[in-house]
Chains A and B, each alone.
Chain A
Amino acid sequence: MMEKILEVKDLRMVYNNTSEEKLVIEKMNLDVEKNEFLCILGASGCGKTTLLRCIAGFEKYEGEILVNGKKCATPGTDRIMVFQDFNQLFPWKTVEKNIQYPLKKQGIKDKAELKRLSDEALKKVKLKGYGHYYPYQLSGGMKQRVAIAKALALKPEIILMDEPFAALDAMTRNKLQDELLTISEEENCTIIFITHNIQEAIVLGTRIMVLSQGGEILIDEKNPISRPVSPSSKGYGELWNQLHEALYKKNKK
């Protein structure tokens, strides 16, 4: 029996900050198990970001979201968000301090210990030696790596990733996918990863979901392809077609 780490129960989310209300998620139920790497695919505007923001506690919603059985309606360090935007690091702190600052707020005061933790996290994302850089001195890919390192160092229950690689060039993107895959296999972490790239979902996910307008779940299944996945892996083509069809079919309406 697997351990449920996240439960989304009857989630309903309406934006009413503009003149008219916008219903984004009608009714969603979702369970995520510990150590799962859940990839969520969906067309642009179908509510992927909104779902993640609800889980992170940035939005007001109806329904319940539970982490380890406990309700969580406000942001917390048990759910760390990695945004798509490269500018999510604090520009006034060095790379190292960006990683250490949240740890300090968690109560770790010992300087040597903080240094050890940030070094360890930077090593995981292959940025050893970049600790004293300021964010503006890094490329987009490096910034996303630091954001991932920051999340890893905090050891949250769930890491929420909202298309973190979408704005990167294809080469950097592939490299970061590889690294994230390695990290997810070596660490005990649960990840919800949003993407609109089918290849990315198949390569990374242990479970793949396709979302459609209103938060309707079209597909939700375990990734049948054994790792490491490449386009020549057995079953890759069928899965790709199946996901593509689900994505595309609903899109046309």
Chain B
Amino acid sequence: MKKSNDFVYSIIVRVVFIIVALVIWEVAARQNLFGENSEVIFPTLGSIGKAFISNFTEGYAGISFWVYISNSLRLLVTGLAIGVFASFILSGLSMISRGFYHIFNLVVSIFDLLPGVALLPVIIIMFGIKEEVIILLVVHAVIWPMSRNVLDGFMAVPKIYVEAGTNIGLKGLSLLTGVYLPAAMSYIISGLKVGWARAWRGLLSAEMIFGIATCPGIGMYINQMRTNMNNAEMYATLIVIIIIGLVVQYGILTPIENCTVKKWGMSK
């Protein structure tokens, strides 16, 4: 009873906050704070709403907004998949070879310090401007934090699970998949969270710095809206970015957590 009251309260507080924030926005937008062109710079909720819909119905320069979204997501998913897969392989190898562990640990520590965007010029000089460059950036964003977490997770696996595992005949790969992976699950999930967040930010930044004409993405769309002073569309695109973030968080990451560490009573 107490708990459900708390829940209702938390919902009410949030809804009230959002309504107040929107009202303030709308009032401010109607004050023409930015002079005569204020409506363009600081659009009302109504025009942002309209832009939100027209984004999808009309797109820009004959290209549907869906194309921009799907391009961005395709690069993101490809990069994430490669990055996560590679970090499992490399962390797994680190568990097999002591020498490899030390080297990989060093490499992770160094590259984890480099923001992807800072690497962009180097990558562009080497590979030119193409979509693989963005995928590379996403891989870079996810592979180091993911590996760091997987490595830490593997190292933190209680000895008793490993011994119970070897006792029932697990060794090598079967020990890795049968004991180390599930036992390190809470670390793996934190790695995914950090990795995806960095990858998504890195991807949008890269798309804004250089749009790839053959593969236009959301970052590029915002830039195009800015150059055309379609500011309402710009704001509407920001909302889309937030929605994508929410979907990933609550549609993918939280369910993964719920059916693994939460269900197993293993959440940190």
- Is chain B found bound to chain A in the same assembly? yes
User: A residues within 8 Å of B by Cβ?
Assistant: 56-58, 74-77, 79-81, 83, 85, 87-92, 101-102, 105-106, 134-137, 154
Of the listed residues A75, A102, A105, the one surrounded by the most CB atoms of chain B closer than 10 A to its CB is: A75
Interface string of B139-173 (1 = CB under 8 A from A): 00000000000000000001011011011111000
| Contact status of A88 and B168, CB under 8 A, knowing A134-B264, A134-B265, A136-B264 | no
Query: Does A136 contact B169, Cβ atoms closer than 8 Å?
Result: no
Query: Does B266 contact A154, Cβ atoms closer than 8 Å?
Result: no
Query: Does B167 contact A81, Cβ atoms closer than 8 Å?
Result: yes
Nearest 8 interchain pairs by C-beta:
A136-B265, A102-B168, A92-B182, A75-B166, A92-B264, A75-B167, A91-B264, A77-B169
Measured CA separation A154–B161 after assembly (Å): 17
Size class of the contact patch on chain B: 20 to 34
Measured CA separation A74–B182 after assembly (Å): 24
Shortest distance in angstroms between B181's beta carbon and chain A's nearest beta carbon? Answer: 9
Shortest distance in angstroms between A163's beta carbon and chain B's nearest beta carbon? Answer: 14
B57 within 8 A of A: no
Measured CA separation A103–B39 after assembly (Å): 71
Query: Does B168 contact A154, Cβ atoms closer than 8 Å?
Result: yes
B203 within 8 A of A: no
Query: Does A92 contact B168, Cβ atoms closer than 8 Å?
Result: no
B179 within 8 A of A: yes
Query: Does B161 contact A90, Cβ atoms closer than 8 Å?
Result: yes
Measured CA separation A217–B183 after assembly (Å): 39
Measured CA separation A88–B167 after assembly (Å): 11
| Contact status of A105 and B185, CB under 8 A, knowing A58-B163, A92-B266 | no
**A and B contact pairs by CB, cutoff 8 A, 21 listed:** A56-B163, A75-B167, A76-B167, A77-B169, A79-B167, A80-B167, A81-B167, A87-B160, A88-B161, A90-B161, A90-B164, A91-B264, A91-B265, A92-B183, A92-B264, A105-B168, A134-B265, A136-B264, A136-B265, A136-B266, A154-B168
Shortest distance in angstroms between B261's beta carbon and chain A's nearest beta carbon? Answer: 8
Measured CA separation A57–B165 after assembly (Å): 13
Q: Which chain A residues border B183 with CB–CB below 8 Å?
A: 90, 92
Shortest distance in angstroms between B173's beta carbon and chain A's nearest beta carbon? Answer: 13
Q: Which chain B residues border A87 with CB–CB below 8 Å?
A: 158, 160
Measured CA separation A83–B160 after assembly (Å): 8
